Chains A and B, each alone.
Chain A
Amino acid sequence: MKYMLLVYSDEGAWSDFERDQCFLDSVQLARDLATRGQFLGANPLQSIATATSVRVRDGKRMVTDGPFAETREQLGGYFLVEANDLDEAIAIAGRIPGVKKGTIEVRPVLEIPGLPTT
Chain B
Amino acid sequence: MTELPAKSMREAVDAIYRAESRRILATLIRLLGDFELAEDALHEAFRAALEKWPVEGVPDNPRAWLVSTGRFKAIDALRRRSFLDAAETEITERLYPADHNPDPLAGEEIEDDRLRLIFTCCHPALAAEARVALTLREVCGLTTEEIARAFLTAPSTLAQRIVRAKAKIRDARIPYQVPSPSELPNRLDTVLQVVYLVFNEGYSASSGESLTRADLSGEAIRLGRLLLELLPEPEVMGLLALMLLQESRRPARVTADGDLILLEDQDRLLWNREQIAEGTELVTRAFATRRVGSYTIQAAIAATHAVAVNAGATDWPRIVDLYDLLLRLEPSPVVELNRAVAVAMRDGPAAGLELIDAILSRGDLEEYHLAHAARADLCRRLGRFNEARASYERALDLVKQEPERRFLERRIAELNGGKGAMSISGVAKRPMSGG
Chains A and B belong together in one complex:
yes
Q: Are B171 and A108 closer than 8 Å at their CB atoms?
A: yes
- A87 contacts B179, C-beta separation under 8 Å: yes
Asked if A51 is at the interface (CB within 8 A of a chain B CB), the reply is no
Smallest beta-carbon distance A68→chain B, Å: 30
CB distance from B414 to the nearest CB of A (A): 50
Q: Is A90 an interface residue (CB 8 A)?
A: yes
Q: Which B residues lie at the A interface, using CB under 8 A?
A: 86, 123, 125, 171-175, 177, 179, 183
Q: Closest B-chain residue to A90, C-beta based?
A: B125
Q: Are B175 and A87 closer than 8 Å at their CB atoms?
A: yes
Q: Which residue of A lies closest to B179 (CB)?
A: A87
**Inter-chain contact A86/B86, CB cutoff 8 Å:** no
Q: In the complex the two chains form, what is the Cα distance from A84 to B125 in whole Å?
A: 16
Is A85 an interface residue when CB atoms closer than 8 A count as contact?
Answer: yes
CB neighbours of A87 from chain B (8 A): 174-175, 177, 179, 183
For B174, what are the chain A residues with a Cβ–Cβ distance below 8 Å? Answer: 85-87
- A86 CB contacts on chain B under 8 angstroms: 123, 125, 172-175
Closest to B169 in A: A86
Query: Min CB distance, A108 to chain B, in Å?
Result: 5
Q: Which residues of B contact A65 (CB under 8 A)?
A: none
Going nearest first, the 8 A-B pairs with the smallest beta carbon separation are A85-B175, A85-B173, A86-B174, A108-B172, A86-B172, A87-B175, A86-B173, A1-B173
Which of A1, A86, A90 gathers most chain B CB within 10 Å? A86
Q: Say yes or no: A111 contacts B86, CB within 8 Å.
A: yes
Number of A-B residue pairs, CB cutoff 8 Å, is 23
Cα separation A111 to B125 with both chains bound (whole Å): 21
A72 to nearest B CB, angstroms? 22
Nearest CB of B to A58, in Å: 35
Closest CB in chain A relative to B281 CB, distance in Å: 35
A90 CA to B187 CA, complexed, in Å: 13
**CA–CA, A84 and B172, complex, Å:** 11
Evaluate contact between B175 and A84: CB separation under 8 angstroms: yes
Q: State the CA gap A106–B183 with chains docked (Å).
A: 18
> Binary interface profile of A, 17-42, with partner B (CB < 8 Å = 1, else 0)?
00000000000000000000000000
Cα-based distance from A38 to B173 in the complex (angstroms): 16
**Docked pose: A85 CA to B173 CA in angstroms:** 5
Tell me the smallest distance from the CB of A1 to a CB of chain B, in Å: 5
Interface code A59-81, partner B: CB below 8 Å = 1, 0 otherwise? Answer: 00000000000000000000000
| Residues of chain B with a CB closer than 8 A to A90's CB | 125
Taking CB atoms, residues of chain A closer than 8 Å to B123 are: 86
Bound: A110/B172 CA distance, A: 10
Interface residues of A in 75-118 (CB under 8 A from B): 84-87, 90, 106, 108, 111
Cβ-closest chain A residue relative to B182: A91
A87 and B177 alpha carbons, distance in the complex (Å): 10
A-B contact pairs, 23 of them (CB 8 A): A1-B173, A84-B173, A84-B175, A85-B173, A85-B174, A85-B175, A86-B123, A86-B125, A86-B172, A86-B173, A86-B174, A86-B175, A87-B174, A87-B175, A87-B177, A87-B179, A87-B183, A90-B125, A106-B172, A108-B171, A108-B172, A108-B173, A111-B86
The residue on B at minimum CB distance from A1 is B173
Tell me, in angstroms, the Cα distance from A16 to B183 when the chains sit together: 34
**A86, B119: Cα distance in complex, Å:** 13
In the complex, A85 Cα to B180 Cα: how many Å? 14
Q: Which residues of B contact A111 (CB under 8 A)?
A: 86
Query: In the bound complex, how far is the Cα of B173 from the Cα of A106, in angstroms?
Result: 12
Question: Which residue of B is nearest A113, CB measured?
Answer: B86
- Complex Cα gap A85–B169 (Å): 10
Nearest A residue to B176 by beta-carbon distance? A85
A103 nearest CB across to chain B (Å): 14
Which residue of the partner chain B has the closest CB to A108?
Answer: B172
A1 to B171, CA, bound (A): 10
A87, A90, A106, A108 — most chain B CB neighbours (10 Å): A87
* Residue numbers in B under 8 Å from A108 (CB-CB): 171-173
Determine the chain B residues whose CB is within 8 A of the CB of A106 once the complex forms: 172
Given contacts A86-B125, A86-B172, A87-B177, 19 further A-B contacts (CB under 8 A): A1-B173, A84-B173, A84-B175, A85-B173, A85-B174, A85-B175, A86-B123, A86-B173, A86-B174, A86-B175, A87-B174, A87-B175, A87-B179, A90-B125, A106-B172, A108-B171, A108-B172, A108-B173, A111-B86
Q: List B contacts of A85 (CB < 8 A).
A: 173-175
Complex Cα gap A1–B183 (Å): 21
A84 to B176, alpha carbons, bound, how many Å? 12
Chain A residues closer than 8 Å to B177, beta-carbon distance: 87
Shortest CB distance B83–A (Å): 14
What is the bound-complex CA distance between A108 and B123, given in angstroms?
16
In the complex, which residues of chain B have a beta carbon less than 8 angstroms from the beta carbon of A84?
173, 175
